[in-house]
Chains A and B, each alone.
Chain A
Amino acid sequence: MEISQGGDDSYQKKFALPVDSEHKSTEFRLFSVAAPHMRAFHLSWISFFACFVSTFAAPPLLPIIRDNLDLTATDIGNAGIAAVSGAVFARIAMGTACDLFGPRLASASLTLLTAPAVYCTSIANSPVSFLLVRFFTGFSLATFVSTQFWMSSMFSARVVGTANGVAGGWGNLGGGATQLIMPLVFDLIHHIGATKFTAWRIAFFIPALFQSLSAYGIFFLGQDLPDGNYSKLHKSGDKHKDNFSQVFYHAVTNYRGWILALTYGYCFGVELTIDNIIAQYFYDRFNVNLHTAGIIAASFGLANLFSRPGGGMLSDLMAKKLGMRGRLWTLWIVQTLGGVFCILLGKVGSLGVSIAVMLIFSVFVQAACGLTFGVVPFVSRRSLGIISGTTGGGGNVGAVLTQVIFFRGSRYSTETGLTLMGVMIICCTLLITLIHFPQWGGMFCGPSSKTTTEEDYYMSEWNSAEKEQGFHKASLKFSENSRSERGKRIGSAPTPNNRTPDTHV
């Protein structure tokens, strides 16, 4: 990996993929592992997948765990809520860490710091210890933020929706894959000779080891930015170490970040809730056996293979023709339709139709997640980390809220809860109509004026003292490249050097 010797040597760099003036890749080649862009992609989705596998490793084994630890339904419900609530603040903290230390160190550290919780699940011996390990394991879902941040740093506006969507979607896949992996691992260990109450404990070492190894991969093979790591770039002066309070201020004062945080709670939050309750729903309402219920539950999560990436790609596609306004409209339509199918899911009474509706619902709700992160990279350039973190955290808040309101105790039957959750999705998604970018417009209004530019919007995050010192240069490049969000086939600024197809960096 070549590291810059000084700010103007960027022309000497050769990347395997075509890049823009920020050296972000303008193409997304799924089957390449070229450093730094595609390698970062593969490292980030694999580690995020591992964290999802760990966080949702317990639900498929609950029939064994609940007998071993003498859990009640309330204990199980509380542990499920704990698993998703830890990440609310962890995601916001992660956003800050990415802004300050870079996604590589932030995500490798968090992944390794939460691995002990997964190892210690093997030695849990009571409802309280079970809740605690699920709570701390859930912190690892904050690696979502580093994934999105890293993709937004490596891929240009043209493909950032796709990159974010595939990385996020394939990571979320872990929530579905674990419903198949863990029972399989458990069966294998049980077959070898361990008793049930020991076999599930040994089984947890698999996700724990996978998670640990992925962290090492990120640390040793990954790189924060196309031009190098934060630590080296800070030293060489290419990247200045930003001021936390300024970054924080510009994040919390941007209302678009808060709206997206809330609406993300009603696509991703809903997805997490379903991950926790859907197996039991099918088991109880339709009397399928536990194995079948697990397979149905897995298929909900496995749809992430194509549905979330599809959302990201759709966002990029709509942006080509209609710019940011296209991204916002598509997000609103898809997420509202997700709400409609959620209402339907609670109403249908036959197994076959219910599975079909659930699959359609999963596609829309996961695509909405991908579409959300097609918009997030443009909300702020300086505070991208905190905005990503707040949006991601909002997702988990949505999961906690929906489980507490609709799926706890016996106030509502599960089917009523699903229908009401669908209504809430539709209502909260209406907030997207309020998002307006002065340079591009919103759903119902065009740009504030003909002369408002991307520079105006992104430069407003820097004061004149900072501009004098040249700290705003990266945001300036980003402004130029984001002109594509106007939607009239204005491409991003081309790289000054030739785009050579060298295979190494």
Chain B
Amino acid sequence: MAPAQGNCRIGLAISTRTRTLSLATISFAHTCYGGVLFSTLPQTLAVSASPTDGQVLKAGEDNITVTWGLNQSFSDGIDSAYTEVKLILCYGPISQADRGWRKTVDNLSKDKTCQFTIAHRTYMRDTQNFTWMIERDVPTAVYFVRAYAYNSSGNEVAYGQTTDAKKSRNLFKVQAISGRHSSLDIASVCFSAFALLSVVGFMALEKRGRNSAEN
């Protein structure tokens, strides 16, 4: 629907590593005209993550250690354009089923597969790693880790991921926080009970009013 244009104005701040970037990145990506197609990207980055296949991690408690670097089987000059790398947490297919808001679309400006940023760094050829505490707003789902390499204009130029092309292997699960607290539970029950008792009170008052109207 959006008209295709040349440069993609993603507008990423280069030096910041704040977590708010994750949401800002997505909203900037949505305002982007045109956009890189995922199918055109070469898989030149090697990415690995600490969770094993099928492991369940807890949001807000557990960590993921991600390691990334250039895949050594590629020739030396291939990464000359890479200036930044971003590591992101992406939904596995089973967590995308019947959920249009997590849909995979080839046009990366509209793609919603990956919604959480793990790390955002300047690109270096040597292997780097980072340990990320899974944030408390990460939902319960099946995930893998992907890395995008960006050029100086802010466009994606390469990627790497911890799973295969079909996204069927090496997926791990995150168990989200429930968001419930015992104080909330108690408050809900108390207020509900009070409301129900009030109805009983109303009926009693009406009956008394009816009986006392005999004057």
Contact = CB atoms under 8 A, between A and B. Distances in A.
Chains A and B bind each other:
yes
Interface of A: 63, 66-68, 70, 72-74, 105, 108-109, 112-113, 115-116, 119-120, 122-123, 125, 195-198, 200-202, 205, 208-209, 212, 215-216, 219, 229, 231-232, 234-236, 284-287, 289
B198 A63 contact: no
A216 B210 contact: no
Given A198-B181, A289-B27, A289-B30, A231 B195 contact: no
B93 to A, nearest CB: 13
B206 A67 contact: no
Interface in B127-146: 136-137, 139-141
17 contacts: A70-B140, A72-B97, A72-B98, A72-B99, A112-B199, A116-B192, A120-B192, A125-B180, A195-B177, A198-B181, A200-B179, A201-B180, A212-B198, A231-B206, A234-B210, A236-B213, A289-B30
A410 to B, nearest CB: 10
Given A105-B202, A116-B192, A284-B100, A201 B30 contact: no
Nearest to B197: A112
A196 B177 CA distance: 10
B214 A113 contact: no
Contact of A197 (B141, B176, B189, B207): B176
Contacts of B98: 72-74
Given A67-B176, A125-B180, A198-B181, A112 B30 contact: no
**Most chain A beta-carbon contacts within 10 A, residue among B137, B185, B206, B207:** B206
B2 interface: yes
**Most chain A beta-carbon contacts within 10 A, residue among B136, B179, B180, B187:** B179
Interface of B: 1-2, 27, 30, 97-101, 110, 136-137, 139-141, 176-181, 184-185, 187-189, 191-193, 195-196, 198-199, 202-203, 206-207, 209-210, 213-214
Contacts of B30: 287, 289
Contacts of A196: 136-137, 179
A122 B188 contact: yes
A231 B137 contact: no
Contact of A113 (B1, B100, B199, B206): B199
B210 to A, nearest CB: 4
Contact of B202 (A68, A119, A219): A219
Given A122-B184, A123-B188, A235-B210, 17 more contacts: A67-B139, A68-B176, A70-B140, A73-B98, A73-B100, A115-B192, A116-B195, A119-B191, A125-B178, A197-B177, A197-B178, A201-B184, A202-B184, A231-B209, A232-B213, A285-B1, A286-B1
**Most chain B beta-carbon contacts within 10 A, residue among A73, A116, A232:** A116
A116 B180 contact: no
A231 B213 contact: yes
A73 B99 contact: yes
B105 to A, nearest CB: 11
Nearest to B26: A289
Contact of B185 (A108, A112, A123, A197): A123
A92 B97 CA distance: 39
Contacts, number: 118
Contacts of A198: 179-181, 184
Contacts of B191: 115-116, 119, 205, 208-209, 212
Contacts of A285: 1
A317 to B, nearest CB: 39
A5 to B, nearest CB: 9
A185 B167 CA distance: 38
Contacts of B100: 73, 284
A428 B48 CA distance: 60
Contacts of A63: 101
B110 A201 contact: no
B184 A195 contact: no
Nearest to A77: B98
B192 A119 contact: yes
Given A112-B196, A208-B191, A236-B213, A105 B206 contact: yes
Contact of B196 (A73, A116, A232, A287): A116
Q: Which 9 A-B pairs have the closest CB atoms?
A: A197-B179, A116-B192, A67-B139, A72-B98, A231-B210, A235-B213, A115-B195, A119-B188, A196-B137
A286 B31 CA distance: 12
B122 to A, nearest CB: 29
Nearest to A5: B215
A15 B101 CA distance: 57
Contact of A109 (B99, B179, B184, B199): B199
B143 to A, nearest CB: 13
Contacts of A123: 180, 184-185, 188
Contacts of B199: 109, 112-113
Contacts of A232: 209-210, 213
